[in-house]
C-alpha cells in the first residue's frame, strides 16, 4: 500500500482552508492546517509534510517571509512549497521563485485542478493552475 502524502495548508482564510482540506482529503491526501507563518513553521517542523501550500498575503508575517523561514530550515530540505495567491502578478511570481518556491499557484475553486497540481508537485514538477479556472473560491 502506498504511503499517504501530507499537505500543510497555510491560509488566514478559514473558508479557503476548509475548501483545500476537503478537496485534498477527498483525493486521498493527509492534510494539516495553519493560519499564519509562525504556525506554519511549527507545523512543518512537527510533521515534515511533503507539500506546503502557503498563502501569499496573510496578516503579520507574509507568505514570502514564511517561505524564506521554511527554506532556511535544514530539517525541511526536500519539502515542496507552493506560494498560493489570488493575484497572478509576474513580479510576485519572480520574487517567490527567488525565495525558493517550487511553484506559484493562483487560488482556484476547482478541486480537480488543485489536486492535479499537488500531484504534479509531488512528482517533482512545477505546478501551475490553469488561468481559465476560477480565480477565487466563491
Say how far apart CA 43 and CA 46 lie, in whole Å.
Answer: 5
Cell of 106: 493562483
What ranges do the domains of the chain cover?
Answer: 6-122
Q: pTM of the full predicted structure?
A: 0.86
Strand order of the sheet with strand 80-85?
Answer: 30-34, 6-10, 51-55, 80-85, 103-106
Task: Identify the band that residue 107 occupies on the pLDDT scale cut at 50, 70 and 90.
Answer: confident
Whether 131 has a pLDDT exceeding 70, the answer reads: no
CATH architecture of the domain with residue range 6-122: 3-Layer(aba) Sandwich (3.40)
**What is the average per-residue pLDDT within 1-15?**
86
- Which of 49-53, 99-103, 120-124 is the least confident region? 120-124
* Average pLDDT in the chain: 85
Amino acid at each position: 500500500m502506498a504511503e499517504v502524502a501530507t499537505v500543510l495548508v497555510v491560509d488566514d482564510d478559514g473558508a479557503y482552508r476548509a475548501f483545500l482540506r476537503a478537496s485534498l482529503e477527498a483525493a486521498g491526501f493527509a492534510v494539516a492546517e495553519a493560519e499564519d507563518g509562525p504556525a506554519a513553521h511549527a507545523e512543518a517542523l512537527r510533521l515534515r509534510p511533503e507539500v506546503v501550500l502557503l498563502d501569499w498575503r496573510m496578516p503579520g508575517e507574509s507568505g514570502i517571509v514564511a517561505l524564506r523561514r521554511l527554506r532556511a530550515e535544514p530539517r525541511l530540505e526536500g519539502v515542496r512549497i507552493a506560494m498560493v495567491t489570488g493575484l497572478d502578478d509576474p513580479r510576485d511570481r519572480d520574487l517567490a521563485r527567488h525565495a525558493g518556491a517550487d511553484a506559484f499557484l493562483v487560488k482556484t475553486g476547482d478541486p480537480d485542478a488543485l489536486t492535479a497540481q499537488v500531484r504534479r508537485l509531488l512528482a517533482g514538477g512545477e505546478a501551475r493552475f490553469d488561468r481559465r479556472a476560477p480565480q477565487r473560491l466563491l
